[in-house]
Amino acid sequence: MSKKRVATHLKWVRVARHDVRVAVSPGTGTGIPLLLCNGIGASLELLEPFVDEVNPAITVIRFDVPGAGSSPAPRVPYNFAGLAWFVTKLLDQLGYDQVDVLGISWGGGLAQQIAFQHPRRCRRLILVSTATGMIMIPARPRVLAKMITPRRYRDATFAMRIAAQLYGGRLRDEPELAGRLLHDQSRIGSRRGYLYQLGAGLGWSSLPGLPFIRQSTLILSGTDDPIIPTANARLMRHLLPRATLHLFEDGHLGLITQAELLARRVSEFVSADQ
């Protein structure tokens, strides 16, 4: 985008007795804000390159899920239904009645849950490099094994070593980029928080509910994504009543490594007919 975005405001918000770290990048327009739901173990800083490229007219909201980034881990585990309710309470505190929701990877599960469970709060849905939960076309076991622990967020050398096999796309040729993306500004959450995120997805599937999600939906999927094979995006496109599928030539972190291209596509989608 040619215009500069207004400076991001970082704040702490108290929600249901939990402190949540939030970043709000105010837009210059008056349209519906865009809420970003991040991938497992990732702090809100990871999506900074994408936010920088979103149309400056659009307000963008990010947050660290409890136990991820700087947000403290809750005392007890949670599931996607509970977290979706939690997000609506966060929006209440921020003063937003309705948002467009973008979820990437693990956050795509949360985004689907919000759209299904709280349809009035979610106007449009963007699903990036994500699938339908436990019932999906899985990655290879050796890929899934690397997702069990948050080591890639704690060890930059390890992140670079596994980048090609885990993330695919541009990181096959530029594995050093994984080290920068996951470590330069990112904040490391607790191991307990990471386990809670893993647990939230156990037994969860959006598959039965997809035909009942009525929001206009944009599905973005990389053609070289080892974690989420492209067939999952095609399945969601078939089951979601109002979905459009856009394939891009990159891997699992394409929202960041192809930030300018995908931010333009997302901006056009959420700005249409406003």
The H or E element that residue 108 is part of is: helix 106-117
Q: Which of 63, 220, 223, 207 is nearest to 130 (CA)?
A: 220
Contact call for residues 162 and 152 (beta carbons, < 8 A): yes
Q: How far is CA 212 from CA 117, 136, 245, in A?
A: 10, 18, 18
β-bridge partners, 122: 99
Q: Catalytic pick from 25, 71, 105, 221?
A: 105
Structure token digits, residue 113? 């849950």
Contacts of residue 248, defined as CB under 8 A and 6 or more positions apart, other chains included, come to: 220, 221, 222, 223, 254, 258, 261, 262
Q: Is 105 assigned a catalytic role?
A: yes
Distance CA 236, CA 244 (A): 10
127 to 94, 102, 132, 146, 169: CA distances (angstroms): 23, 6, 10, 23, 18
| Distance in angstroms (rounded) separating the CA atoms of residues 174 and 40 | 22
* 3-class state of residue 136 by DSSP: coil
Single-letter residue type at 38: N
Say how many C-beta atoms besides its own lie within 10 A of residue 95's C-beta: 6
Q: Using CA atoms, how far apart are residues 172 and 170, in angstroms rounded to an integer?
A: 5
Tell me the catalytic residues. 105
